[in-house]
Amino acid sequence: MGRNLALALAALLGLAGGGLEAAGGFDRALELQGITLHVTCPNDSSLPTLTIVPGGLEIDSTPITRVVDGLVVGAEVADLNADGSPEVYVYIQSAGSGSYGSLAAYAVNRKRSLSEVYLPPISDDPEASRGYMGHDQFQVVESRLVRRFPVYRDGDANAHPTGGTREIQYTLVPGEAGWVLLADRVIGS
């Protein structure tokens, strides 16, 4: 199939602009500040292999491959710490009724190489994780990574949360050995 025909088909299906996620696979090309990041995942099992191919890096453009627990459901590029080098945020949803969200994220280091960004487990913050049973949604909003999820009260069925919605806002900060997403604001139930 020719490239123009594929793009026309994608536009008709409402998939243009983000990438082709046909047949369950994930394929998205992202670009910011002269750096490209091509994110792919076949989403062909509950433990598929995520691949991120960087372009435009000055030293190390080695692709990153890793097995993820769930399906890749989204990816964004941003520069949350405003250092002139972007990060890529890949959103993953686990299989099963909880659909627990997780993140694979990498920061570009002075446009030279990629390093992993660490998101501490939500359970590390007992107050923020109170009533948490999955169904996360991640999104970059301005200079923060935002995680939203329904809040479950005691006795709620997995498909019927009654505690509203909680939002955790993360900022990107330097850690001891790399970058860390630090929860600095919790909103909601």
Q: What is the pLDDT of residues 152-169, one digit of tens each?
A: 999 998 889 999 999 999
Q: CB-based contacts of 80: which residues, under 8 Å, 6+ apart? A: 87, 140, 143, 144, 145, 171, 172
Distance CA 37, CA 30 (A): 5
Are β-strands 165-174 and 144-150 bridged in parallel, bridged antiparallel, or unpaired? antiparallel
Nearest to 56 by CA among 26, 78, 86, 81: 86
Q: What is the pLDDT of residues 80-105, one digit of tens each?
A: 999 999 999 999 999 888 899 999 99
Q: Which amino acid is at 58?
A: E
Q: CB-based contacts of 81: which residues, under 8 Å, 6+ apart? A: 87, 143, 171, 172, 173, 179
